[in-house]
Every structure is written in C-alpha cells, then in structure tokens.
Amino acid sequence: MHCIRNITQDLYWIGGNDRRLALFESAYPVPKGVSYNAYLLLDEKTVLLDTVDRSITDQFFENLDHALNGRPLDYVVVHHMEPDHAATLRDLLARRPNVTVVGNQKTLTMFAQFFGQAPANTLVVKEGDTLSLGRHTLTFCMAPMVHWPEVMVSYDSADKVLFSADAFGSFGALDGALFADQVDFDRDWLDEARRYYVNIVGKYGPQVTAALKKLEGLDIRYICPLHGLVWRENLSYIIEKHRLWASYTPEKQGVAIAYASVYGNTQNAAEILAAKLADKGIPTVVFDASMTHYSEILAAFFQYSHIVLASTTYNNGIFTSMEHLLHEMGSHNLQKRTVGLIQNGSWAPASGKLMAALLEPMKDVEVLSPVTLKSSLAQGQEAELEALAEALVSGGTTQAAEEPAAGGKKWVCKICGYVYEGESLPEDYVCPICRRPASDFEPAS
Ligand code: FEO
C-alpha cells in the first residue's frame, strides 16, 4: 500500500524508512533507523527528485505509481549518485524507459560507472541552468563534495523549495511526522542530525560553507533533504547549525572527555577530572572510547569547545580504540579545539606523546601538556588534574559560538524565523536568509 505525503499542493514526499539497517554506509549505527526521501512534483511535466535505497524498493515504486496516478514520468533529477539514493535508478528506467535523466556531467559519468551503460535519455545541466515544468521552474546549483563531487541541489522558484540532497539531512526514520516543526527537534533530532552531518559531510566544511554562501540570496520556504525531516518553519535555525558545523565552530562551551582504559585506572582519572569540571560549572560529557561508537564521540567533539583524550599505553602505542578515534578526528577534519591529554603506562608511558603527534596536523588545535599516570593516579597527583581542569576552564583558545546576549533586543523574520539582534532594526535591513525586508520582521516576544 502506498504511503505518501503532501508538502505543497503539487509536491509529494514518496520516500520510505528503514529501521532494520544495522550500519549506514557499513560504518554508522542507526538505532533510530534512517529515511530515504524522494519527491515527486506534478506540473505540466512530471518530475521525480531522486530515487531511493534498494532496501525500500517496493514501497518507493508503489508510492511513485500511486502519486503519478496514471501519468507518465517525464524527468528524474539525480541530485546525488550515491546508492542510498540512486540504487533504484536503473530499476526506474527499466519500468519507465522514456524518462529523461537530469544530472550534470559527473552524474552521468557515475551513472555509467555504477550501471555499466549511459541512460537513453539525458538532460545535462550545469550551474544556473533551469528546467521549466509549467508553473514550476527548477534552477540547478552545483554543490561539489556535499557529499560527493557530482552533488547538486535544485531550487523551485514557484513555491520556494530547495531540494538540498544530503545537506540538512539527519539519521533517524520518520515517525509519522514529516516536518521538523511537528517534532521537538532539539530534544529528539538534533543529536542525530549533528552525528549525521559530522560523519557524512564533516570533512568537507569549506565546501559546505561555499554551498551555504551560494544559497544566501534565495528566498527559501521549504528545505527538502534526502534524509530526515522537511523544513518549512524556522529555517534559520538549521541553517545556522550547519554554518557552525561547517566552520568547525563549537556550539557549546564545555568539555567532551573520551578515555580508553583497560583496567579502570585511566577511566578513574577521567572521572575525577569530569567531577572537577562539573563542580566548576563546566558542561562536561564523558565517553568510553572502547564502548561508544566513534561517530557519537566525534559528534560531541564537534559540539564542545574543549576535548580531553585519556589513554593507556598499549604495545608501546595508543590504546586501539583511542587511536581509531584520533584517526577519525583527523579524517573528518576536526579543527579549532583545545585538547587536554592524560596518558597512562606502567613502565613506559608513551600514549601522550603519540596522541599529540596525531593531533599536530589538525588545524588550529591547541594541545595542553599531558598528565602522566604510572599505573594509577598517585597520591598527590590530584593536583595535576586540578591544574588540567583549570587550564580547560580558563585556558585554551577555542570559544563556542556566542550565546545571544541576555536582555538584548531581537526581531524575528516572520517568513523564515531568522533572528536579528541589536538596539534597533535598520529600516533598510534585508533578511540574510530569505531576503525579505524589515517590514517582515516583528519584535521577539
Ligand atoms: Fe545520503 Fe551521500 O548519500
């Protein structure tokens, strides 16, 4: 049976959910599942915006057939060729051989690589090209490396819809609600949205920033990503989150601690440090790197301003789970953080120096002097943890994004939710997100 949703009068969500997948991309646990979003726009021409992962093939084609209601499919726009969206593209062409595949040159190269032949009917688009469908016109905008080089997004100027590919996506299946304003996003979705961003596109911050810059001038009312919820309210909230993540700016002033401990002594030092930080009023989270998947720890490292890595020495090296975490920090391009170290070793502590060496190539990462344990925290050594806690509280160069000044005046854009802060709203002010004038702002309550 079909399961489709209306977004606007003639735009439909026709995707589906997978709650059985253990590892997304064979790497990332998705305990809350994942959605694969595809959209269908019905105008004088009919256009499908992406296909879906193979796991939901039957549901997707049932949805598509129902939404088309006997009409032919004229176009399929391929924003992204990764198989979690394009695996069913060949099946689509087998079912609907007359459809025209819309993509850029790289899209078509990848199509041939994945499927062994080029599609029969193609429309090659490049930056700024448009496709007229009747009332709607799609404009194409290249977004290379958000997340693959062929990625593009498209914008429907009629209903102000951005089809954003992987951008603005999230892990998590859709529990009935399709729109972000139907859920408690901060409570139930933000952590998975961050974990998705950090691990899937976190490496490509400059490219994400460039794509966000390109979108600045557009009047966007809807964001339709390929995973997760559709945005139609308070768009500036999720855009701002992505601006922070893409620029590696911490969201929160606080400390994320990860430890790798064999017999609990390294853990003990990490716990004492965490307690000292908490007593100083510093938001602190603690992870056992051997128990918590690195994707979750990495997301916390993107969120917090300060990091502590505590590892025992193992085979003259860093304990394996911590070494893996450090490699993931580097390969996801983490930067702009202050990092404290705790090393342990019963006869030749070496993990501190080795962790520092792996942190050294990371941009704008300040490494504090390590605390060294010989088997366990010795009598009198608590002072060294106190000094590290003080250094994390008062030292380090990294700062989280500034919280809005308490008591300051604010105006909210009635269209997109962007918040302007200042003593007064200039008469000629234009919303940086949706380009609406000052008259569309109202004082924040
Ligand atoms: Fe959801 Fe990069 O694929």
- Helix H or strand E encompassing 273: helix 265-279
The predicted pLDDT at position 127 comes to 96
* pTM, two decimal places: 0.90
Nearby residues of 27 by Cβ (< 8 Å), 6 or more positions away: 199, 295
Q: Ligand 1: does its nearest atom lie under 6 Å from the Cβ of 147? A: yes
Identify the pLDDT of residue 232.
97
Taking the centre of ligand 1 as the mean of its atom positions, its distance from the CA of residue 214, in whole angstroms, is 20
CA distance 276 to 284: 10
Q: Kindly tell me if the per-residue pLDDT of 415 is higher than 80.
A: no
How far does residue 84's CA lie from ligand 1's centre (Å)?
6
Give the distance (Å) from ligand 1 centre to CA of residue 79: 10
Our answer on whether the CB atom of 276 is closer than 6 Å to any ligand 1 atom is: no
Residue 395 has what pLDDT? Answer: 64
Report the pLDDT averaged over residues 99-125: 97
Q: What pLDDT does residue 402 have?
A: 55
Please give the distance, rounded to the nearest whole angstrom, from the Cα atom of residue 178 to the centre of ligand 1.
Answer: 19
Is a pLDDT exceeding 70 seen at residue 404?
A: no
Query: Is 79's C-beta closer than 6 angstroms to any atom of ligand 1?
Result: no
Q: What is the mean pLDDT of residues 217-230?
A: 96
Band (406; pLDDT cuts 50, 70, 90): very low
CA of 83 to the centre of ligand 1 (A): 8
Q: What is the mean pLDDT of residues 28-52?
A: 98
Q: What is the DSSP letter of 399?
A: -
Compute the CA torsion angle 189, 192, 196, 197 (nearest 10 deg). 60
Place 378 in a pLDDT band, splitting at 50, 70 and 90: very high
Give residue 398's pLDDT.
63
- What is the Å distance from ligand 1's center to 118 Cα? 21
Is the confidence at residue 418, as pLDDT, over 70?
no
Say if ligand 1 is within 6 A of residue 150 CB: no
Q: What is the pLDDT averaged over residues 48-76? A: 98
Q: What is the mean pLDDT of residues 102-113?
A: 98
Distance 416 CA to ligand 1 centre (A): 26
User: Burial, 6: exposed, middle or buried (Cβ in 10 Å; 0-12, 13-18, 19+)?
Assistant: exposed
Cβ 227 under 6 angstroms from ligand 1: yes
Would you report the helix, strand and coil content of the chain in percent, each value rounded to 5? 30, 25, 40
Whether 82 is in the pocket of ligand 1, judged by its Cβ within 6 Å, is yes
pLDDT tens for 248-287 read 999 999 999 999 999 999 999 999 999 999 999 999 999 9
**pLDDT at position 355:** 98
pLDDT at 31 over 80: yes
> 30 C-alpha vs ligand 1 centroid, how far in Å?
14
Residue 388 confidence (pLDDT) above 60: yes
Order of strands across the sheet with 11-13? Answer: 5-8, 11-13, 39-42, 46-49, 75-77, 100-103, 122-124
Q: Does any ligand 1 atom lie closer than 6 A to the CB of residue 166?
A: yes
Check whether 403 has a pLDDT greater than 80: no
Q: State percent of the chain over pLDDT 90.
A: 87
pLDDT in the model for residue 438: 87
CA 289 / ligand 1 centre spacing (Å): 26
Nearest atom (ligand 1) to Cα of 166 = 1
What number is the average pLDDT over the span 390-417?
68
Cα 203 to middle of ligand 1, angstroms: 14
Residue nearest to atom 3 of ligand 1 (CA): 82
**Tens of pLDDT, residues 10-28:** 999 999 999 999 999 999 9
Q: For ligand 1, is residue 50 a contact (CB within 6 Å)?
A: no
Check pocket membership of 84 for ligand 1, CB cut-off 6 A.
Answer: yes
Nearest atom in ligand 1 to the alpha carbon of residue 227 is 1
Tell me the pLDDT of the chain averaged across its residues: 94
Predicted local confidence at residue 442, as pLDDT: 85
Q: How far apart are CA 92 and CA 81, in angstroms?
A: 14
Confidence band for 405, pLDDT divided at 50, 70 and 90? very low
Calculate how far, in angstroms, residue 430's C-alpha sits from the geometric centre of ligand 1. 33
CA distance 315 to 312: 10
Atom of ligand 1 nearest to the CA of 201: 2
Range from 23-32, 52-61, 228-237, 390-399 carrying the lowest mean pLDDT = 390-399
Q: What pLDDT digit, counting tens, does each position of 163-184 carry?
A: 999 999 999 999 999 999 999 9
